[in-house]
Structures are given as structure tokens and as C-alpha cells.
């Protein structure tokens, strides 16, 4: 089997995808029209031309503007359903999706509207495609600690539907330490913890995510390689990094995919996984990310299988399910 065939055949888990980042321009236009909301583009082509980012903030400005057309429960359902169709095509059999409630509640959309739409799509994806899923609620780190506490309060009635709490948005200038107390409360309430760190921010932010937020996974974390003590810690603790190659390329975290460190991290023994982040904005879903790194870094079949195995090991599914999927991969 060649590498392209193997990538398609491997069952995979996605652990780093923002559901608002799967919003394809065609669906954005359709929902904007039915909700009678103006968007600053005349055509799908014009939207795509605007996706010309030079850093994280230039992307986030456009990403939050796009999410403004989501108003009704059905809008959140349609958004998630379209993503599940991509999962089915790419043989993603399990996904742990981020959602950003503050992007919606700050516009007057109820927390329940967001989560009920997403949950209904998750149930239908299980029934129709056999895809399992979990939801991870993220705090927007450019907003205040107080706003994060309010969001956590709103999430408590839906505790059984949210596996973990995460931290995203503008990284530099908003270190994990800013949210130490709200993450302590989230842990007390029984949520697992993840956080974006070491995407644009320095290795110190990864240390803080580990020591202050007590994360179960680091999202991105690619800048950890700049600190050898941190690398030793990640390797010792088998701490997963949810790496997003096409995102790193689009947001100029790396200049060329040939410069991406995911293969080196894997070879050094870091528990790296492959993910799509915001696939509608960054040029591809799960398999496109695998194809891009395979081509640029010449990954062999054993490395590709290891990345797929890592995705299940780092996921929040039961040990029994992990073993089932890993056995499937080993049979290929």
C-alpha cells in the first residue's frame, strides 16, 4: 500500500478542530441569507480571497466575523453536520471538537442554542456514520477571567455533554496564568483540561499550561522544541501535542512545510498527533494535513501508523475503545 492509500485507510481521531473553523463559505452564504444577515463579501470567491493570513490575529478577525451569522440551533446543527460529512470521507472515526461559546453568547445567542445544535449533530453522526464525538468548551483568552468564570457557570447545566475545557484565541499577551483560578474551578467540577500553548507564544506558556492549568493535552505546542527541559518533560509525561500542520503553514508559524518539526518531534519521542484546527480557513481537513506532511517530510508507513495510533492514545475515549482502534491500525 502506498502512503496516500494508507492515509485514506487509517482510522483516525481528531483532537484539535474548532467547529466554527469548519464553516465553509458556501454554508456561510446560505445561513447568512436565511437569517438575513449581511456579510461583507459578494461571492464565495471573494470570501476565499480574504483568507490570506499572515499571523494568528489576522485569521481570528475573519473567523469571528464569519461566526456572526450563526444564530439558531439549526445553524449550529448544519455547521457540525457538514464537518461530520468530512470526517466520514476522511475515515475520522472519533472527534473531540472545540466550540467557543463566548463568540455566540456575547451576541445574545443562548448557550443552550449552541450546545443543543451541536449535540443533535453528534447524535446523528453516531447513528448515520458510526462516528463518536465529544465537545470541548474553550474560553477566549483575549477576554477577561471574569467572563471565563461566567461562561463556566453557564456550562454547568450541560456538564454531562462537555468532556473538557480549553483555552484559545489570541495567544501572545494572554498567558495561561491569567486563567489559573477558573481552570482550577473547572477541574473541581470534573472537566478534563486542554489549552492552546506554544503556537505563537513561547515555551513558557507551555510550562504554565502544564504547571498552572494542569492540562491533559497541549494544543499546538510546536514551539516546545526551543526548550530542551520542556521537551524532556513532555517526553517523560507522554504529554500529547495536538499539532495542526496546515494551520501552522497558513498562519506563518512555519515558512514552508518542509520546515515543520512534527517528524522531528515524533522521532524524539514526543506524543504528537495530526489535526486540522480550522480546516475551512487553512486549506484542508484531516487527510489533507496528513498528505501535506507526508509529501513535505517524506513520512514512511510506520510513522503514519504511529501518528494514527497516537491520536487514539491521546483521546478521551475508554481504554477498551483505544485498544480496539489501535488493533485495527496494526492489522492494516
Binding residue ranges for substrate? 278
Q: Which residues are catalytically annotated?
A: 199
Q: Which residue is nearest to ligand ADE (CB)?
A: 168
Residue number with CB closer to ligand ADE (25 or 304): 25
To 10 degrees, the CA torsion angle through 36, 40, 41, 46? -150
56 binds ligand ADE (CB under 6 A): yes
CB of 180 to ligand ADE, least distance (A): 19
Residues 126-185 that bind ligand ADE (CB under 6 A): 168-169
102 binds ligand ADE (CB under 6 A): no
196 binds ligand ADE (CB under 6 A): yes
Residues 213-232 that bind ligand ADE (CB under 6 A): none
Q: Are strands 240-243 and 271-274 parallel, antiparallel or unpaired?
A: parallel
Q: Which of 12, 15, 18, 287 binds ligand ADE (CB under 6 A)?
A: 18
Question: How many residues bind to ligand ADE according to rule CB under 6 A?
Answer: 11
199 binds, among ligand ADE, Zn ion, none (CB under 5 to 8 A by kind): ligand ADE
Residues 229-248 that bind ligand ADE (CB under 6 A): 247
277 binds Zn ion (CB under 5 A): yes
Residue number with CB closer to Zn ion (276 or 325): 276
Rounded distance between C-alpha atoms, residue 133 and residue 93, angstroms? 8
Q: Which residues are near ligand ADE by CB under 6 A?
A: 18, 21, 56, 63, 168-169, 196, 199, 247, 277-278
Q: Which residues are near Zn ion by CB under 5 A?
A: 277
Amino acid at each position: 500500500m502506498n502512503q496516500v492509500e494508507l492515509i485514506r485507510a487509517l482510522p483516525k481521531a481528531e483532537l484539535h478542530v474548532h467547529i466554527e473553523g469548519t464553516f465553509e463559505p458556501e454554508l456561510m452564504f446560505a445561513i447568512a441569507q436565511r437569517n438575513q444577515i449581511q456579510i461583507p463579501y459578494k461571492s464565495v470567491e471573494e470570501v476565499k480571497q480574504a483568507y490570506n493570513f499572515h499571523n494568528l490575529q489576522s485569521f481570528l478577525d475573519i473567523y469571528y466575523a464569519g461566526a456572526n451569522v450563526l444564530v439558531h440551533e439549526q445553524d449550529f446543527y448544519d455547521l457540525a453536520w457538514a464537518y461530520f460529512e468530512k470526517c466520514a470521507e476522511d475515515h475520522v472515526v472519533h472527534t473531540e471538537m472545540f466550540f467557543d461559546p463566548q463568540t455566540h453568547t456575547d451576541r445574545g445567542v443562548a448557550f443552550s442554542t449552541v450546545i443543543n445544535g451541536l449535540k443533535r449533530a453528534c447524535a446523528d453522526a453516531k447513528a448515520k456514520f458510526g462516528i463518536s464525538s465529544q465537545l470541548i468548551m474553550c474560553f477566549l483568552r483575549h477576554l477577561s477571567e471574569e467572563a471565563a468564570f461566567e461562561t463556566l457557570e453557564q456550562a454547568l447545566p450541560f456538564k454531562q455533554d462537555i468532556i473538557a475545557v480549553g483555552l484559545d484565541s489570541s495567544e501572545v499577551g494572554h498567558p495561561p496564568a491569567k486563567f489559573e483560578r477558573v481552570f482550577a474551578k473547572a477541574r473541581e467540577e470534573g472537566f478534563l483540561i486542554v489549552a492552546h500553548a506554544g503556537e505563537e507564544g513561547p515555551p513558557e506558556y507551555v510550562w504554565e499550561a502544564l504547571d498552572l492549568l494542569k492540562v491533559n493535552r497541549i494544543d499546538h505546542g510546536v514551539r516546545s522544541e526551543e526548550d530542551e527541559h520542556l521537551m524532556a518533560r513532555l517526553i517523560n509525561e507522554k504529554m500529547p501535542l495536538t499539532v495542526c500542520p496546515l494551520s501552522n503553514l497558513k498562519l506563518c508559524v512555519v515558512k514552508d512545510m518542509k520546515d515543520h518539526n512534527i517528524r522531528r518531534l515524533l522521532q524524539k519521542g514526543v506524543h504528537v498527533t495530526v489535526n486540522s484546527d480550522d480546516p475551512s480557513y487553512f486549506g484542508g481537513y484531516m487527510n489533507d494535513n496528513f498528505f501535506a506532511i507526508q509529501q513535505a517530510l517524506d513520512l514512511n508507513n510506520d510513522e503514519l501508523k504511529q501518528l494514527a495510533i497516537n491520536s487514539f492514545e491521546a483521546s478521551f475515549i475508554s481504554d477498551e475503545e483505544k485498544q480496539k482502534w489501535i488493533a485495527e491500525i496494526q492489522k492494516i
